[in-house]
Amino acid sequence: MTVAITRSQIASAVAAVLSVATMATASATDSGRHGWDGWDKGSRSKGRYETGDFHNHTTCSDGSISMEKLVKKSTDKRDTPWGLDWFVQAGHGGSGNRNCTLVEDASLSTPAYPYVEGRGPTTTWANSIGAAAVKGNTGSSDGSSTTPLASQANPSMWRWQSIQSIQYPVTEYLSAKKNVPVFMGLESVVAGHEHTSMSVVSGQVVGKSGDVSPGSYVPVGDANALAQWSYCFDRGDTDNSRGGSNNWDCSVPGIDNSSNPDWKPNAAKLFPAGGPGSGVRGHQKTVQALEWMKAYHPNTSYYVPAHLERAGPFNPDGNNGFNIEHLRNFNNAAPKVAFGFESQPGHGASDNRGEYSPDRNSIGGVRVDSVGGTTWGGTGVYAAQVGGVWDALLGEGRNWWFFASSDWHNRGSFAPDDRRSTQDFYPGEYQRDFVMVRQDSRGNRDKDYGWHNARWNHHDDKDRISKPHEIVDGLRSGNSFAASGQLIDRLAFVACSDWRFKDYDRRHGRDNGADMLEAIALEAAKNGTDVDVGGANCAGMGEKLKVDKGDDVLVAIVVRDPSGTNYSPYTFANPSLLQISKTQPLNKPVLDHFDVIGGLVSGMKKPSSPDYAGQWPDNWVDNPDMNTVPAGAKNTTAGILKTFGNGTWTSKGEYKVASFRVSGVKASQYLRLRGTNLPASVPYETDANGNPLADIYTNASNASKLRIPCTAKMSTTIPADTVYTGASIDGCPEHMERFPAVTGQQYVSYDVAAWADLWFYSNPVFIEVKNGIRVAGVK
């Protein structure tokens, strides 16, 4: 009998033999395959990489399951072994008709939220709490309606009320019950644009238990700040009630809106008029939203545009996408709040990966593509294209980081508990953000946190769970990376210019300095922490290394490619790799290589500069030519500097170790990493340089473009209407597209396409040369 060993079991065995001293200062958080804000390196506390997701949905917006079920699926490490270390529940702004706090079945029942026969998470507010309990007015585009929602027979509830009174208590309760950080966020419907993942975590607490009685829970903390933001600035919220008894005022310090025709005194907020220029006016409101966060909640807010390429380019007369100038405007307005984008979208198993597609939207009656036309290796073109928008922002020296998300809604044609999907993956199942989270040392000095319990500052409390503001600090720090399909689950990435690492024995060809730094980085990767170099002049992700002109910089990189299986239910050979005669099961991916991508830093662009703005060209799929990209949206100095794989990295078991020197640094620059399970020149997947190709060749929405055959036959057919909960499908699943219909040949698409094509992205390390261009956005 063969006993399957999971990656989590292997990781636990490794952790068990690590020294007690090491684990006491940096307890390893293993996802399995299976300075207070990160800017001040001199005073920061020890931290660890913790996995999470901040963009997902329940029935309170347009999802398919309850909050309790989604939290269980996302954080549980037993029944659903992909459980995350922290979780932000964030549905759409606007309003919703269903009560997502009612559970599906008795298995989810708790004393505070018991299961009631016939009243699951699709039950309306009217049929659960009663229409009279729904607050606010019916809403109108100009803020003129004064009709109470409670007067309707079946009202939808504004998200501000849902967040404040209904959903927040559930997150606090479940967080305490499960001892996992769970808190509230929002996928805002953005004025002038499409969507953004955001939160204001002031007042929200985790791991604290309020009063519990059968059928009710009284929370300790609150989400009032997030609820107010939702009322004030979400485009979908056209309520003018000022939050009823909350009596909210959406004014922003330093901004006089009294003469602005979009300001409605009765609502105390902006209602940008529709029609020509509405996109521009909407964008201006969104910038004010960031100014509000900076003014009132600077340390407890984040604002990360979601799947930002999906809706196409910016529409000055509507609400579509984001051009690079809008990202610059956000970062200029509130650099500690708007510090990145979600350029690796969720919906990875859909018929259009990420829900990106050519001709997705209409702007002024003209069909436009999602920017980039589709995803590229599951990532949007803004980050996937070397030298594109992300490199342009990094080339200014901005703190602008890369994030991924699940965007969970449903399983498409399958039930929520089925392991197959034609739409979404659960949070943590496929994508996850690994974020360096440090225990806070600020105590009660910052009143916007909403709590004053000194016990939470103890750094030797092994059982403490991370607090919402600590996770926000981690997101802000840039010390993070994202991986799909459990391709890697540990990363150490550090650059140093220090006398301790300059020992290079040219006579014997041995780099003792590199050996030393590699060993330090390897220990950090094993412990799931960042690299501790004991005061040496070094920098990690999200930081900058200051050097004199002409100095050498030593870079060390360690990744763990965990052995065993990932969370794919498919055991048959990866069809994409079979094209090049490489047999590798879909549930046992192997990191093929990683690239070091770098570019020069030229300094921050001013809004008055002619290259501050730039719209990515439409129809990129048919003509992916960087010469057509405006100067403001690209960095022509960016490129692949190094590639490491078998023969160029050193294998230390599951860990891949590499280092290199940048000799005689002359100019300020940055370095970032990207890796994949696919070699260069895999047909329809990667080009000759290893760059991802357009995902149109695996998108089932246009079967005529499918190109990668799937030939493995299942040994046992899964009966129709069966909810498959196992992890051993050994042949191409029935839901795979067949084209042409005459032959019945199946082609890679849906979830198989996602599991076949895996990538990780790191955030950058900056290098600043003394008396050169200053990396102004990063400390």
86-89 and 182-184: which strand pairing? parallel
The answer for residues whose C-beta is within 8 angstroms of residue 692's C-beta and 6 or more apart is 376, 377, 378, 379, 384, 676, 685, 686, 757, 759
Q: Would you say residue 455 has pLDDT above 60?
A: no
Q: Would you say residue 403 has pLDDT above 50?
A: yes
Tell me which range, 3-7, 41-45, 143-147, 652-656, is most confidently predicted by mean pLDDT.
652-656
Q: How far apart are CA 329 and CA 630, in angstroms?
A: 18
Residue count (the chain): 779
Comparing CA positions, the residue from 39, 168, 150, 34 lying closest to residue 100 is 168
Query: Residue 20: in which H helix or E strand, if any?
Result: helix 20-25
Helices (H), 490-636: 512-527, 575-578
Instruction: Give Cα separations from 374 to 193, 480, 485 (angstroms).
Output: 19, 25, 20
Q: Which of the four pLDDT bands, split at 50, 70 and 90, describes residue 440?
A: confident
Q: Would you say residue 193 has pLDDT above 50?
A: yes
Q: At what angle do helices 278-296 and 224-233 cross, to 10 degrees?
A: 160
- Regarding pTM above 0.75, the answer is yes
Q: Which of the four pLDDT bands, split at 50, 70 and 90, describes residue 707?
A: very high
Percentage of the chain modeled with pLDDT above 70: 90
The answer for residues whose C-beta is within 8 angstroms of residue 335's C-beta and 6 or more apart is 398, 399, 777
pLDDT digits (tens, 9 = 90+) for 351-402: 999 999 999 999 999 999 999 999 999 999 999 999 999 999 999 999 999 9
Long-range contacts of 618-621 (CB under 8 A, 24+ apart): 618/312, 618/313, 618/368, 618/369, 619/358, 619/369, 619/373, 620/369, 620/371, 620/372, 620/373, 620/381, 621/358, 621/369, 621/372, 621/373, 621/374, 621/694, 621/696
Mean pLDDT over residues 187-196, rounded?
98
CB 311 within 8 A of CB 370: yes
Q: What is the pLDDT of residue 18?
A: 26
Comparing CA positions, the residue from 344, 247, 326 lying closest to residue 289 is 326
Mean pLDDT over residues 324-344, rounded?
98
Higher pLDDT, 408 or 742: 408
Mean pLDDT over residues 21-41, rounded?
32
Positive or negative torsion for Cα 92, 315, 374, 699: positive
Q: Would you say residue 447 has pLDDT above 70?
A: no
Q: What is the pLDDT of residue 253?
A: 97
The answer for residues whose C-beta is within 8 angstroms of residue 576's C-beta and 6 or more apart is 678, 682, 684, 685, 708, 748, 756, 757
Q: Would you say residue 147 has pLDDT above 90?
A: yes
Q: Which of the four pLDDT bands, split at 50, 70 and 90, describes residue 538?
A: very high
Mean pLDDT of the residues in the chain: 91
Q: How far apart are CA 325 and CA 613, in angstroms?
A: 5
Q: What is the pLDDT of residue 43?
A: 52
Other CB atoms within 10 Å distance of the CB of residue 715: 10
Q: Would you say residue 226 has pLDDT above 60?
A: yes
Q: Which of the four pLDDT bands, split at 50, 70 and 90, describes residue 464?
A: confident
Q: Which of the four pLDDT bands, split at 50, 70 and 90, describes residue 506?
A: low
Other CB atoms within 10 Å distance of the CB of residue 688: 7
pLDDT digits (tens, 9 = 90+) for 470-481: 999 999 999 999
Mean pLDDT over residues 520-530, rounded?
97
Q: What is the pLDDT of residue 452?
A: 27
Other CB atoms within 10 Å distance of the CB of residue 406: 25
CB 684 within 8 A of CB 707: yes
Q: How far apart are CA 446 and CA 450, in angstroms?
A: 8
Q: What is the pLDDT of residue 534?
A: 86
Q: Would you say residue 676 has pLDDT above 90?
A: yes
Q: How far apart are CA 75 and CA 87, in angstroms?
A: 7
Q: Which of the four pLDDT bands, split at 50, 70 and 90, describes residue 11?
A: very low
Q: How far apart are CA 656 and CA 726, in angstroms?
A: 31
Q: How far apart are CA 757 and CA 564, in angstroms?
A: 18
Q: Would you say residue 245 has pLDDT above 70?
A: yes
